Amino acid sequence: MVKLAKFLNWCFALTALIVGALCLLSLRSYLRSPHSRIASLTAGKAAVLLLLFGGQLAIMALFGVAWWTVRKGKRSARVWAIAASVAEIVFSAVPVLAKRSPIWLITATGVAGLFVFSRREVLAEIATSAESSPRLRGDGTSKFVDTAVRLAGYACALAALFWWTGWAERRHLPLSDGFTLLFLLLLADVICVAVHESGHALTGLALRMKIRSFVVGPFQWQLRHGKLEFEFHPSSLVASGGRTGFVHANPADSRWLDVCTFAGGPAASLCLGLAALWATFAAPGRPWQRAWELLAFIAVFSLIGFVTNLLPIRPEANYSDGARIYQLISGGPWADAHRAFSIAGSSAFTPLRPRDYDIQTIQRAAHSLTRGRQALFLRLLAYFHFLDCNRIPEAIEALAEAESVYDQSPSDIAAEVYAEFVFGNAFLKHDAAAAREWWERLEAGKPHRDDTDYWLARSALLWIENHPEEAREAWSAGNALAQKRPAAGAYEFDRERFARMRDALDSTASLSPAWRGGA
């Protein structure tokens, strides 16, 4: 439900941008017409013009405010979101407005908005998520700069669209409108994101790093069980942002390799922007003349993206490439967190195990990061480290800290993460009630049934609830999968945990001794 709400909210943002662009284009076309002399306007015509442009501005404001209030988790978000959803339904019912539009799509979006945004708990969860990742002192960013850069980017994009339209009219090039224009804008955005993320990926591969994830809008490749697997997420069709996750094949690599990899994205955007700019100017009379609009949009988005990505900003809950480069060079908690995650990620490719993690770096970062997704994962890394080192009391303490972070600031995390809470509460703490509670959350998240963590958690849960036969069946299913995993440190740790779980199933002794003499 929250993902659908975020998708619909980005529809609001896109509608506001398109209406604003169309308003500027309409104004420009009128001012260029031979009947645009202000002095020759009658009172009636002036009133019609004011009503027309005023209405467009009001619509843009409605959808823009709805997007902003929902995104920021404001108290008024529910009212604005419902108003915007009603407006979509009304627009789909007006013949003139819907003449060249897919009415069913607009109506469906409006109806879905009414259903989703009428539920207070959905907006409450979005508000909590908006506050769950704190801004740390010294991270190189500020709210003022974030807002200024965002507004400047939108202003430059609209100004460029205005200018390109005049340029095309003087050269008698075709102009698109309606949903054709929308399609070209979305396509240009996806192309720009794909090239930007490819810049990160190719730079990382050239520096002998390993790719863990590659995301371009709804097209997502994630590393699972030693290989990249493709998934399609329709909820990301509009918010087409991307990301590339990479780790070092050698944990001792210099941080300057990370700096170069982060810089690879903006460099690719610059190259694409300059190439598209040249192709647009050269389009008249060339075979690609009909594609001039797409090329112009690519040039604008890429060049704006190049500049904004090099600035230290924090759009949404993620840092720009420039902010990450600054953090790596200047040091601090985010640099420690990046190193901790990179070392942990490398365990999927190297013999490095959780017991080899730099626990001092993890704890330094965790001391400063107390809320949000990164804070949760840092404490889980500490939990894995202590568990693999057979330091059970410290592992239980780290697990409790991770649970506390989750409870204080819920995060949109993968369902498999809940499996660690199930296993830890059942296997280490002997808390059947807590393990069952986490298991309910795990099942609600629709986990992958081919994941070893899922079966390990199920085995531990059934064991602590005194269902030994079912626990053995779950253990057998998970152990069979674990034995097929690559020969890397992370998977060796999983196989070790299955061995300890087997010992627990074969014995009535307490769990902690089962870990003695372990890894």
Domain ranges for the chain, please list them: 2-131, 157-327, 335-515
Which residue in the block uniquely carries the two structure tokens 């308003």?
Answer: 23
Q: Is the model more confident about 333 or about 259?
A: 259
Judge whether residue 98 has pLDDT over 80. no
In the predicted model, what is the mean pLDDT of residues 408-425?
A: 79
State residue 445's pLDDT score: 74
Q: Is 486 helix (H, G, I), strand (E, B) or coil?
A: coil
Q: What is the pLDDT of residues 172-194, one digit of tens each?
A: 888 876 667 777 888 898 899 99
Query: Exposed, middle or buried, 395 (CB in 10 Å: 0-12/13-18/19+)?
Result: buried
Q: Which CATH architecture has domain 335-515?
A: Alpha Horseshoe (1.25)
Question: And the tokens for 195?
Answer: 């090239």
Which residue in the block uniquely carries the two structure tokens 């009212």?
Answer: 79
In the predicted model, what is the mean pLDDT of residues 375-390?
A: 94
In the predicted model, what is the mean pLDDT of residues 40-62?
A: 70
Backbone angles phi, psi at 454, to 5 degrees: -60, -50
* Mean pLDDT taken over the chain: 81
Q: Are 192 and 305 in contact (CB under 8 A)?
A: yes
Judge whether residue 513 has pLDDT over 60. no
CA–CA gap between residue 238 and residue 115 (Å, rounded) = 20
Q: What is the pLDDT of residues 242-258, one digit of tens each?
A: 888 888 877 777 888 88
219 has which bridge partners?
A: 216, 232
Backbone angles phi, psi at 225, to 5 degrees: 60, 40
Which residue in the block uniquely carries the two structure tokens 């799509």?
Answer: 105
Q: Which of 203, 150, 388 is nearest to 380 (CA)?
A: 388
Of 160-169, 268-277, 487-496, the one with minimum mean pLDDT is: 160-169
Buried b / exposed e over 472-493, threshold 16 CB at 10 Å, is bebbebbbebbeebeebbbbbb
pTM: 0.75
State residue 106's pLDDT score: 65
Q: Which amino acid is at 49?
A: L
Question: And the tokens for 412?
Answer: 């949109």
CA–CA gap between residue 61 and residue 96 (Å, rounded) = 21
State residue 412's pLDDT score: 59
State residue 95's pLDDT score: 52
